[in-house]
Amino acid sequence: MMCVKKIRGRGARSPGATGKVGKSPPSPPTSFLDLQRRSRKSCAYTDAQHTRSIITPRISPADARALPISLTPQPTMALPAPTIDLLLNLIDTRPQSILSSLEQHPHLASARDAHGYSLVHAAASYNQLAVLRDLVQKYNADVNILDEDGETPLFACEKAEVAKCLVEELGADTSIKNQEGQTAEDKFLEEEDATHEVYQYLTSLRTGHEPAAAGVIETEGVHPPPPLPDGVKVNVGTMEEDAVDAPDPEIRRRIEELAARPDYDSEEVQQQLRELVQDVVGGMGAADSGRSVRPRVD
């Protein structure tokens, strides 16, 4: 039996092969054309691979997890919650937006800003009756909530109908005083006047009388002047323009005559002018006393 020895190394052959065991036959010499042909194949293969990588990129799951931007859809970002300052700025132009916000954030109905100003104050000031009713009736806001000056929303009213809504529908207290010791009625009288419709409404609640018509001043508390001393009489009236006495034509003639004299500056002419003026003044006094005196004419 023949034993075959395993030969390790490049070019090992099986038994029976011709040639020397352990060595490969020499390669034929490579020509310049062969090198050029191989170079073209290598470039074509590289370009094809590059084109495929651009057209259909292949990303492994590990690479996808490492990407900074997720390929899965992201949920919509939630809007920030509204603040009391934001809602106060909307009270004049977008009251419906305030009601929508209160449905999601009902705690803002009783919130106050840095000065103690609340939505109830703002709704009363800007005549937003729908917002005012919802704040108190739906969200249980305090109708007598105080700001930093100790004033309730009743102090902020501009219209009598809003004050009436606060008092008669929502139960506002008209006797609350601010830090200066004034009620809402007192403050309206001081800062506005007696013709202000809110003041007249609050006064009617206190006195039981109907509010005065618009533009009419309430006369309560107005006293007549004290009586005049004995012997003093005051006549108040008007004097028509025709009742004023026209200048006496004779006096006018005498003044013009004296003014035209060449010796106008002399003592004689000046004396006559003074006497003429005294006669005119004396005649006016006599006319006031009921006597008819005609000026002297030289």
Q: Which two tokens stand for residue 116?
A: 């103690």
Rounded CA-CA distance 106/264 in Å is 96
Q: Are 88 and 113 in contact (CB under 8 A)?
A: yes
**In terms of DSSP H, where are the helices of 77-180?**
84-90, 95-104, 119-125, 129-133, 160-164
Rounded CA-CA distance 176/181 in Å is 9
Q: Which two tokens stand for residue 187?
A: 């403050």
pLDDT digits over 211-239, tens only?
655 445 555 555 666 665 666 566 666 65
Confidence of residue 3 (pLDDT cuts 50, 70, 90): very low
Confidence of residue 15 (pLDDT cuts 50, 70, 90): very low
Is the pLDDT at 172 greater than 60? The verdict is yes
Rounded CA-CA distance 266/227 in Å is 55
Rounded CA-CA distance 119/100 in Å is 14
Domain boundaries, the chain: 84-176, 248-288
Rounded CA-CA distance 38/30 in Å is 11
More confident site: 262 or 79: 262
Q: Which two tokens stand for residue 88?
A: 């106060």
Give the chain's mean pLDDT.
75
More confident site: 276 or 161: 161
For the residues 181-209, what does the mean pLDDT come to? 92
Is the pLDDT at 132 greater than 80? The verdict is yes
- Per-residue pLDDT at 184: 96
Rounded CA-CA distance 171/166 in Å is 6
Is the pLDDT at 198 greater than 90? The verdict is yes
Least confident of 94-108, 158-172, 211-225, 251-265: 211-225
Rounded CA-CA distance 2/30 in Å is 41
- Per-residue pLDDT at 14: 44
- Per-residue pLDDT at 180: 94
Domain with residues 84-176, CATH architecture: Alpha Horseshoe (1.25)
Is the pLDDT at 140 greater than 50? The verdict is yes
- Per-residue pLDDT at 268: 84
Residue 99 amino acid letter = L
pLDDT digits over 72-111, tens only?
556 666 667 889 999 999 999 999 999 999 999 999 999 9
Is the pLDDT at 50 greater than 60? The verdict is no
176 membership: H or E segment, kind and range:
none
Rounded CA-CA distance 105/99 in Å is 10
